[in-house]
Structure 1
Amino acid sequence: MSLSQIAINMLQAAWQILLELAPWLLVGLLIAGILHVFLPAGFIHRHLGGKKFINVFKAASMGLPMPLCSCGVIPAAIGLKKDGASNGAAIGFLISTPQTGVDCVLITAAFLGWPFAIFTVFSTLFSGLFGGLLVNLFDAGDPPAAAPVLKNNSCCTQHDKRSWKTIFQFGFIELLRDFYKWLIIGILVSALITVFIPQNRLQEIPLTQGLSGMFLMLAISLPLYICTTASIPLAAALVTAGMSPGSALVLLMAGPTTNVATMGAIYHSFGKKVLGIYLATVAGLSIALGLLFDKLPIIAHQAPLHTHHQMDILSLAAAIILLALLAGLSFVDLRRKFHKKPASCCHPHS
């Protein structure tokens, strides 16, 4: 296969992935913007104090729809701890939030089917709850800080924030900017796998199957930053190539929650015992839940949906819009990078 043919096949595969991804990602970004604007200020902080089961459950549950990646959730979780949340509630939030979100659920359903998406939501909630409860059980930690007093002394009221402009600015610009580079990388890597690894080829390689395949995904996921949204098409491509859905689940659970930056922040803010519980929870439960999912034959072996995608006008319009957004963000970042004015040592004398 010539280089030109490889390039054409890559572009075609990437375009098919974009057609499947774009509608659901745009809907998810819109919902994330609405949540950001209409969720009352201080709502989360008021419900996460204390070390009871319900506090950890609320924290893990509230993390499910939150549009935060692993880098964005670190300051949020530390902020919750400082504002009165228990260590367990903060860790429960820290585990559940980056694994999924409103956009991720929709995209997972589009690529891997609704059974997989629903099981992912269950896995996310269970892992956040389990990890948070373990932290409260084995780590005394510092006493929660006093609840913050919210003052309404801003010149901008909550009503002023509630505009479509603010919703679109947050969802389609600020939030997308946080992970668009990884989204592009994820699409390209997924296209690469689609082009170079024939369907079901990985089934012929023992290392990629069963428990060994899950440990392989875990080893790849632990040190690296893998954005959830970007990793979904990658996981679907791996399943199409022959890896088990359980291994894909390990990638989607461990990838977004563990990386060097996250580990360092947890160690610094919560201590080594909490870090150990955090890593043991994510690693152990991702493997256990992956094995469980592979034991559900009717659900687990549903074919990834993106392999038979039919283009329609909605998908085409969404893909064009998303492509324009990605191009715009890339252009702005490149312009900032290459058009920085160097500080001059020569100034005109007045």
Structure 2
Amino acid sequence: MHILNFIKDILITSVSILNGASGWLVISFVIAGLLHNLITPQKFQNALGNTKITSILKSTVSGMLLPICSCGVIPIGISMYYSGAYLGPVLAFMTSTPIINPIAVVLSFGLLGPQITIIYVIAGFVVPMIVGILGNIFGKNELCVAMDDDESLIELEEEKRSLTQNILDGLKWSFSELALTISKYVIIGMLVAGFITTAFPTSIIQKYLGNPGVLSLGSISILACIMYVCAVGHIPFIAALVASGASPGVAITFLIAGAATNLPELISMYNVIGKRAVIIYSTTLTSCALIIGYITNKLLVGSSVNMDIETSKASIDIANKIMINIPDSMKYLCSFIIFVFFIKAMLPSVRKVVKNEA
């Protein structure tokens, strides 16, 4: 009976997590479809299809300005990769987008104070640049997607198409090939995240890890890697840890590693781009989070990290005004759409297993 209740709780938690991300996933499928056909591979290669620092800079800044969750960035990043962008700029974009965005900065300022926020903003720019540079250095066969020999002919055909036709073709690609691939790995990742969240709820984590004597940068980095957090929702949790006595370095480490190292993103990246990309991405992020957390402790431990109530309320109000709030009915609809894509993607494998068993 206890096992059944535990499984039930896992499913409920997984659905809750999916509801939080599904709307952004569907929006990202639309954006990815538009990128795929409106911006030709030649334009992508001219802008991001190289190992120049400027390409990584463009991707980093673009990602910092998008208020999209860590799951929502998956379709856009993979679309960029398959449209001609090199691995470095893609990893930089997929790092900066979940780590930092305008809404997260506003909330951080109100809940964590200006000192932590300044370090957070600097880290949100520097870390993606480092990830992108290392991606270009060590990417090897994953550096870029092999293009077909007749690519130039395809581009000439695409140039003759109307804008409407390009949009429709891009959306068709995104909601067929891309959505099927991404949804399969996202649902698996959500189930794993649901298990971890059910087994180790945030209330228990805060109770035992809020003690500065127990909570270390190493333990918070491990926690950040296994917990599922969105690009904004983890900030109040971090503020609660700091209020409980955790060090400022803990806040920075979790801000960097927590949002950018979730399982659905890592699983999708591993299966669609490759294991080398995942190793570069995850190890660099975790290492940078630990180093910056250590530096933050050296700079701020002993100084007052004030969290004024009035400032917090004002920041939350501003964040609510600029945040795109997806209605609950749309969240459930988007979750249903993602689940349908998952079922459709898994059917061939299920049929193959059934056929082999027969």
| TM-score normalised over the length of structure 1 | 0.62
Within 5 Å, which residues of 2 pair with 1:5-44? 42=39
Instruction: Determine if contact 2:110/2:311 at 8 Å carries over to the other structure.
Output: no
Structure 1 partner of 2:131: 131
Within 5 Å, which residues of 2 pair with 1:112-261? 112-142=112-142, 143-144=144-145, 145=147, 153-155=162-164, 202-203=210-211, 205-208=212-215, 213-261=216-264
More helix by share: 2
Instruction: Determine if contact 2:99/2:255 at 8 Å carries over to the other structure.
Output: yes
Q: Is the alpha carbon distance of 1:334 and 1:136 closer, same or farther for their aligned partners in structure 2, counting shifts above 3 Å? A: closer
- The superposition leaves residues 106-142 of structure 1 with CA deviations (integer Å, 9 ceiling, x where unpaired) of 1111111233222212112111111111111112225
CA distance in 1, matches of 2:235, 2:98: 13
Structure 2 partner of 1:77: 77
CA distance in 1, matches of 2:319, 2:86: 41
| TM-score normalised over the length of structure 2 | 0.60
Structure 2 partner of 1:165: none
CA-atom RMSD in angstroms: 4.2
Q: Is the alpha carbon distance of 1:335 and 1:226 closer, same or farther for their aligned partners in structure 2, counting shifts above 3 Å? A: closer
Structure 1 partner of 2:92: 92
State the identity %: 24
- The superposition leaves residues 197-234 of structure 1 with CA deviations (integer Å, 9 ceiling, x where unpaired) of 6xxx945x5212xxxx2222112111232012101111
CA distance in 1, matches of 2:67, 2:243: 27
Residue segments in structure 2 that go unaligned for 5+ positions in a row: 1-26, 168-192, 337-358
Within 5 Å, which residues of 2 pair with 1:50-61? 50-61=50-61
CA distance in 2, matches of 1:137, 1:336: 38
Deviation, structure 1 residue 235: 0.7
Structure 2 partner of 1:62: 62
- Counterpart check, 1:264 vs 2:288: no
CA distance in 2, matches of 1:334, 1:155: 29
CA distance in 2, matches of 1:318, 1:129: 26
- The superposition leaves residues 215-268 of structure 1 with CA deviations (integer Å, 9 ceiling, x where unpaired) of 221121112320121011111111011001110111111111112211111111
Which structure has more relative contact order (CA 8 Å, sep 6+)? It is 2
* Aligned residue type for 2:97: T
CA distance in 1, matches of 2:334, 2:78: 30
Instruction: Determine if contact 2:88/2:131 at 8 Å carries over to the other structure.
Output: yes
CA distance in 2, matches of 1:134, 1:317: 36
CA distance in 2, matches of 1:268, 1:125: 27
CA distance in 2, matches of 1:129, 1:273: 18
* Aligned residue type for 1:260: L
CA distance in 1, matches of 2:99, 2:297: 19
CA distance in 2, matches of 1:70, 1:155: 30
Q: Is the alpha carbon distance of 1:63 and 1:241 closer, same or farther for their aligned partners in structure 2, counting shifts above 3 Å? A: same
Instruction: Determine if contact 1:294/1:300 at 8 Å carries over to the other structure.
Output: no
Within 5 Å, which residues of 2 pair with 1:328-347? 329-330=327-328
Aligned length: 260
Counterpart selection for 1:276 from 263, 279, 282: 279
